[in-house]
Amino acid sequence: MALAKLMQEAGETFTKIFGHQPDYYSSAPGRVNLIGEHIDYCDGLVLPAAIDRYIVIAFRKTDSLKGEICMHSAGNMTEIPLDVELITSEPEWANYVRGIIDGFHNIGYHDIPGFQAYIHSNLPRSSGLSSTSALECCTAHMVEQLIGVQLDKTLKAILCQRAEHSFAGVPCGIMNPYVTIFSKQDHLISLDCRDISSSYVPFPTDELALIVANTKKYHHLNDGSYASRRRQVDDTLSLLEKESWRDVTMTELEARQDDISHLAYKRSRHVIAEIERSKIALAAWTERDYDHVGQLMNASHQSLQHDYEATCYELDVMANIAQTIGHEGGVLGSKMTGGGFGGSTITLVQKDSVRHVMEEIYDKYRIATHQTPMIFCPSIVAGSLTTPAAEV
């Protein structure tokens, strides 16, 4: 569904709920990541892209509800007062909104007016495609419009990251909000998470395509699994007396193997290896050695499965089906994308093999799991934005 169509639907529902049309729309895409999983919070290198699945917010400033906001999402309504300290509450999805507003308060913007808003989306939730970051970035664009400011883009990404930490309980890295905000059509982003520097990497749409396969095994990153992985690698880095995982070699880790638990060793081994894989993958992509990139994606999934233990049965089945199709069938590589423990895989394929690969993954996954997946071939799109209603 085109973004314009999604905005029109949001506007129509907004009008039905509130009795008048919205003034603006903010929108933000989901994302996938070709390589560099669970290392954006370890100063790693990542290679993500935004995809054409969105969250859209239709909104309007209100004088009558000044000091209070009224938001609807999929039939669920919540009102949030702005004249009291914001804390986590129900419904859970509204915490991402609360976190962004609290973030603006923390950087000095306290006079946020009341508003009405309706959230609409074709980005599946809990699927490893960064729906929460999209909601945060979408909300940040909305607040900017409401108060008449435009934050530095990197500051805005950090504000969204902090909202995830404080109001969702997920100690994520910078990748998700960064790619949601900075993305460029038909380009990957090579992001260095240590200094938050980046460059755009062209994606050859005439040769290659991406396939997203949503397992329908929904993940919940605030259940503690994600946070426990981060604690394990943070604690190990401290024990190694290093400032950054970029400064740790596999030889140094192995030399201290007796000083740490076997579990901490495995987690750390993934981090070091994934950082190296990401470096090699970027160089290979630049040299148009896409076969090598695919091999590194496969290796990344194996590491996430066995060392970081961030996959699940369904993700492993999905990745294995694609990897087994192999180069002869048009598949270059496949791995989980996102935080894991459920969600989606991302598969790099030859463009002329897309339909065949999608059908084979779909059929074999249904046979293996007795579940019906959601499989699509996304376009790579530009990042989040705000659009006046008159332009929709």
Q: What is the mean pLDDT of the chain?
A: 94
Residue 319 has pLDDT above 90, yes or no: yes
pLDDT at position 76 is 82
Residues 6+ apart with CB under 8 A from 201: 47, 187, 188, 189, 190, 282, 285, 286
Instruction: Count Cβ atoms below 10 Å from residue 71 Cβ, excluding itself.
Output: 21
Does one domain contain both 211 and 251? yes
Answer whether 160's CB lies under 8 Å from 138's CB.
no
Residues 109 and 211 in one domain: no
Using pLDDT thresholds of 50, 70 and 90, give the confidence band for residue 170.
confident
pLDDT category at 49 given cuts 50, 70, 90 is very high
98 shares its domain with 146: yes
Do 153 and 257 belong to one domain? no
pLDDT given for residue 222 in this prediction: 66
Residues 151 and 8 in one domain: yes
Specify whether the CB–CB gap between 222 and 206 falls below 8 A.
Answer: no
Q: What is the pLDDT of residues 84-122, one digit of tens each?
A: 788 888 888 889 999 999 999 999 998 888 999 999 999
**Assigned token pair, 174:** 């910078």
In a shared domain, residues 188 and 274: no
User: Cα(132)–Cα(62) distance, rounded to whole angstroms?
Assistant: 26
Residues 149, 284 within the same domain: no
Question: Does the pLDDT value for residue 328 go beyond 60?
Answer: yes
**The model's pTM:** 0.94
Q: 297 and 335 in contact (C-beta within 8 Å)?
A: yes
The residues pairing with 78 across neighbouring beta strands, listed in sequence order, are 71
Residue 212 belongs to domain spanning: 203-376
End-to-end alpha-carbon separation of the chain, Å? 15
What are the start-end ranges of the E strands in the chain?
24-33, 45-46, 48-61, 68-73, 76-81, 115-121, 187-192, 197-202, 208-214, 331-337, 344-350, 374-376, 385-388
Q: Which residues contact 125 (CB under 8 A, 6 or more apart)?
A: 131, 218
The two three-digit tokens of residue 259, written as one number: 């000083």
pLDDT of residue 250: 97
Contact indicator for 108, 128 with CB cutoff of 8 Å: no
Co-location of 300 and 157 in the same domain: no
pLDDT class for 224, splitting at 50, 70, 90? confident
| Alpha carbons 275 and 139: distance in angstroms, whole number | 32
| 82/46 same-domain check | yes
d(CA 28, CA 385): 7
Please determine, for residue 274, whether its predicted confidence score (pLDDT) is greater than 80.
yes
For residue 347, which of 208, 211, 146, 214 has the smallest C-alpha distance?
211
CA distance 372 to 58: 32
| pLDDT more than 70, % of the chain | 98
What CATH number has the domain bearing residue 88? 3.30.230.10
Mean pLDDT calculated for residue range 328-334: 97
Residue 348, token pair as written in the block = 């790099």
Claim to verify: residue 108 and residue 73 sit in the same structural domain: yes
Q: What is the pLDDT of residue 221?
A: 67
Instruction: Return the pLDDT at 64.
Output: 57
Query: Per this entry, what is the length of the chain?
Result: 392
Query: Same domain for 194 and 212?
Result: no
Query: Which CATH number do you get for residue 298?
Result: 3.30.70.890
* Residue 28 phi, psi (nearest 5): -150, 135
What is the number of domains present in the chain?
A: 2
Question: Is residue 126 domain-shared with residue 217, that is, in the same domain?
Answer: no
Q: Which of 66-80, 101-115, 294-308 has the highest mean predicted lDDT (pLDDT)?
A: 294-308
CA 48, distance to chain mean position in Å, is 9
